Amino acid sequence: MRIDIVSVVPEIFKGPFSSSIIQRAINKGIMDIHIHDLRKYGLGKRKKVDDYPYGGGGGMVFRIEPVYQCFDKLLSERNYDEKIFMTPDGILFSQKYANTLTCKKNLIILCGRYKGIDQRIRDHLISKEISIGPYVLSGGELPAAVVVETIARLLPGVLHNPNSMITDSFQMEKRGAHPIYTRPKIYKGWAVPKILLSGHHKKIKEWICQKSIQKKLDS
Ligand code: SAH
């Protein structure tokens, strides 16, 4: 799967993309991530990407030309399944939608900044608008990283143990994530449920099933 991310602060991705799951997905060739600095497509000597909003109001706005040029180059090279804009007023990102995205071959993710982006970019260049939650960050980079990591762990071959992903919260329609424990058996008097130490696989399975259904009912 190829993901092209368009941003004015590309250095933000160095951290999240150079360790753990996303790094593994990249190193294994399962995810091919390309970060594009929108400033390269900026206007004039100063490579300007933003301007004042027509009609006034605070904050700067992404101009359409740099985004158009960048998208035009990418679209001339391959077809994209979705051209996503990260925005707080988009559809709320979910595990279900992440599952859908794993079936795509090529994605573009545009990260906004400042007050936002010229509406014509949204109307003519973008196919999906995604929010990671009902709150406002300063840019679309962290939201894009959230989307990329959620997809990465779903792609076959990325997690060492795919069973772990199947039983995650939100992955199962009728179940939540069951409680999990590791060593020590007792810490400060807080004990691991006896059943998990019993070695009785059938009973353990039933306990896990019951707990995960209970979690869903409680949520
Ligand atoms: N004025 C805009 C917010 C701009 S925040 C509004 O009120 O909707 C600047 C950029 O950060 C946005 O263009 C978007 O790309 C990103 N962003 C901020 N919060 C986000 C969220 N919850 N989900 C996805 N992207 C977000």
Residue 82 lies in a domain: yes
147 with 176, same domain? no
Is position 69 within any domain? yes
Q: Quick check: 215 pLDDT over 90?
A: no
Could you tell me the pLDDT band of residue 32, with boundaries at 50, 70 and 90? very high
Domain limits at 196? 167-218
Closest listed residue to residue 143, CA positions, set 156, 158, 155, 132:
132
* Domain co-membership, 117 together with 51: yes
pLDDT of residue 218: 85
Distance of CA 111 to the CA centre of its chain: 12
| Ligand 1 centroid distance, CA of 170 (Å) | 24
Q: Which residues contact 87 (CB under 8 A, 6 or more apart)?
A: 112, 116, 122, 129, 130, 131, 140
- Say yes or no: 40 and 99 in one domain: yes
Ligand 1 atom with least separation from CA of 110: 15
**Position 61 pLDDT exceeds 90:** yes
- pTM metric for this prediction: 0.95
Same domain, 120 and 187: no
Domain total of the chain: 2
Question: Which own/partner pairs from 190-199 qualify as long-range (CB within 8 Å, at least 24 positions apart)?
Answer: none
* 103 & 6 share domain: yes
Question: Domain for residue 176, yes or no?
Answer: yes
Torsion of CA 144, 104, 124, 132, to 10 degrees: -30
Query: Rounded to whole angstroms, how far apart are CA atoms 170 and 122?
Result: 29
Phi, psi of 166 (to 5 degrees): -60, -35
16 lines ligand 1 (CB under 6 A): no
In a domain? residue 160: no
Instruction: Find out whether the beta carbon of 50 lies less than 6 Å from any atom of ligand 1.
Output: no
At 129-174, the pLDDT tens digits run: 999 999 999 999 999 999 999 999 999 999 999 888 888 989 888 8
CA of 100 to the centre of ligand 1 (A): 23
In a domain, 121, yes or no: yes
The answer on 182 and 91 residing in a single domain is: no
Question: What percent of the chain shows pLDDT beyond 70?
Answer: 100
The answer on 187 and 135 residing in a single domain is no
The pLDDT tens digits for 75-133 are 999 999 999 999 999 999 999 999 999 999 999 999 999 999 999 999 999 999 999 99
64 within some domain: yes
Q: Are residue 54 and residue 92 in the same domain, yes or no?
A: yes
pLDDT for the residue 132: 98
Most ligand 1 atoms within 8 A of CB, residue of 113, 136, 141 to mutate: 136
Q: Kindly state whether residue 8 falls inside one of the protein's structural domains.
A: yes
**Is 24 within a domain?**
yes
Confirm or reject: Cβ of 88 under 6 Å from ligand 1: yes
Asked if 177 and 87 sit in the same domain, the reply is: no
58 lines ligand 1 (CB under 6 A): no
Final residue of a structural domain among 126, 152, 178:
152
If asked whether residues 62 and 21 sit together in one domain, one would say: yes
